[in-house]
């Protein structure tokens, strides 16, 4: 046991010092205004799928605030793989829309909503989200045309719910299918240092409900918090002015 500890500790200390030295050397470069904005403060992302509809739509371009949760290995391009943990770390809140690297494939960025934090018990029952054995408050809204959200025929209607988390975060979700494949799940207990993420388009989202594809997401995989839509184009390439400036 003593030999193992003596072997690990110097390596961890060395890695920490290497990370600090690299960050110090990068300061003069990153302080230039364009690079400061792009690599330190905000990062732009485009939305390629409908998993977060109706909040985020295909063709939306969003800004993710990197400083919201601190800086880690996935905060900067080409960051060394030995960097561990986050500098200035802060955990997300219920309802935050976050960009993160997939725990199953760290080359892929995902955008989802945080619905579970360390120690929480999460479950879906007949399409309703339960947090720590209590149903998350939701109110039925008027059905609307599903468009591409449900992958069905043109004119198909989709159920909508306004969901409100215990901290007051409120947003609209889509419910394409009654008792769909992931509408009834086991109880997921979120481990320390992780969060549980769902898409707002509940029947068409690859998220933490699917263990083999995503599962619980490590906090260290966070890239940033989605703050607003800064550009939006429809399928014809036309500008959607009504979506610009909306907060995620």
- Give the integer Cα–Cα distance in Å for 51 and 58: 9
Q: Which of 215, 159, 218, 150 is nearest to 186 (CA)?
A: 215
What angle (nearest 5°) sits at the alpha carbon of residue 116, between those of residues 115 and 119?
A: 165
Q: Is 33 helix (H, G, I), strand (E, B) or coil?
A: helix
The bridge status of strand 222-232 relative to strand 188-189 is unpaired
- Helix, strand, coil share (%) of the chain residues, nearest 5: 20, 35, 45
What is the 3-state secondary structure of 75-122? Answer: CCCCCCCCCCCCECCCCCCCCCEEEEECCCCCCCEEEEEEEECCCCEE
Q: Does the bond joining 54 to the residue before it have cis omega, within 30 degrees of 0?
A: yes
Q: Which of 66, 75, 112, 208 is catalytic?
A: 112
Q: Which of 11, 15, 18, 51 is catalytic?
A: 51
225 an active-site residue?
Answer: no
Instruction: Give the closest residue to 156 by CA, choosing from 172, 133, 136, 176.
Output: 176
Q: Is 112 a catalytic residue?
A: yes
CA distance 54 to 174: 7
User: Which residues form the catalytic set?
Assistant: 51, 112
């Amino acid at each position: 046991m003593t030999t193992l500890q003596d072997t690990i500790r110097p390596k961890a200390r060395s890695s920490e010092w290497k990370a600090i030295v690299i960050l110090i050397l990068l300061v003069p470069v990153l302080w230039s205004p364009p690079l400061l904005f792009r690599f330190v403060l905000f990062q732009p992302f485009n939305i390629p799928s409908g998993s977060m509809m109706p909040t985020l739509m295909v063709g939306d371009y969003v800004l993710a605030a990197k400083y919201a949760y601190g800086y880690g290995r996935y905060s900067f391009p080409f960051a060394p793989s030995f960097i561990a943990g986050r500098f200035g770390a802060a955990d997300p809140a219920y309802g935050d829309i976050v960009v993160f690297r997939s725990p199953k494939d760290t080359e892929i960025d995902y955008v989802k909503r945080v619905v579970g934090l360390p120690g929480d018990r999460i479950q879906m029952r007949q399409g309703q989200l339960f947090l720590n054995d209590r149903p998350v408050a939701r109110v039925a809204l008027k059905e609307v045309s599903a468009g591409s959200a449900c992958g069905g025929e043109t004119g198909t209607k989709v159920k909508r719910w306004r969901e409100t988390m215990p901290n007051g975060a409120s947003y609209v979700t889509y419910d394409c299918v009654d008792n769909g494949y992931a509408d009834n799940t086991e109880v997921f207990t979120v481990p320390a240092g992780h969060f549980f993420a769902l898409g707002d388009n509940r029947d068409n989202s690859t998220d933490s409900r699917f263990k083999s594809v995503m599962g619980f997401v490590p906090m260290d995989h966070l890239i940033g918090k989605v703050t607003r839509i800064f550009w939006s184009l429809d399928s014809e390439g036309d500008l959607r002015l009504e979506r610009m400036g909306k907060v995620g």
